[in-house]
Amino acid sequence: MAIVLCRVDDRLVHGQVVIGWGRPLGIDLIVLVDDTVAASTWEQELYRMAVSPDIEVRFVTVADASAQLPALSGDGRRALVLTGDLETMAALHSANPVAVHRINLGGIHHRPGRRERLPYLYLTDEELRRLFAIEAAGADITAQDLPTTSAVALRSLP
């Protein structure tokens, strides 16, 4: 097994993740890493409704995910590690740069201070600098909304 996708998407579990990425990659397991969602049974149930029963969904804290990364890499299933923000993915990469070495920037939407880098990707200059630092630490970071579109290298973002 391998962690086949580490994705940052602020909408978390939705059709683009489950259908767009999950089916083509043959995902068996989605590990949603979010401290708030991990503590909220009703939010977990909402996200579970978007996923077919043949895909397991785990809701874990950042600390738990960091501890589980080695086991996920050796499990017999194909996993998608999903975070809703860059800080969480950065923490996972820092905890295990081997397991979290390819990072996909999916839907990161507009907020005050962010500017459009791609139609689905809005980042502040500070967030972009942080991503460059994670890349310098060994991560391969690309932006790609769906597997049917071309990946955009971090260094190519405006």
The pLDDT, as a whole number, for residue 149 is 95
Q: How many CA atoms lie within 13 A of 60 on its CB side?
A: 21
Instruction: Check: CB of residue 38 under 8 Å from CB of residue 61.
Output: yes
Going by their DSSP bridges, the two strands 115-118 and 78-83 should be labelled as unpaired
When pLDDT is cut at 50, 70 and 90, the band that residue 1 belongs to is low
For residue 17, count CB atoms less than 10 angstroms from its CB and return exposed for 0-12, middle for 13-18, buried for 19 or more: buried
Q: Tell me the pLDDT tens digit for each residue of 68-91.
A: 998 887 777 899 999 999 999 999
53-81: average pLDDT: 91
Model pLDDT for residues 115-124, shown as the tens digit of each residue: 999 999 999 9
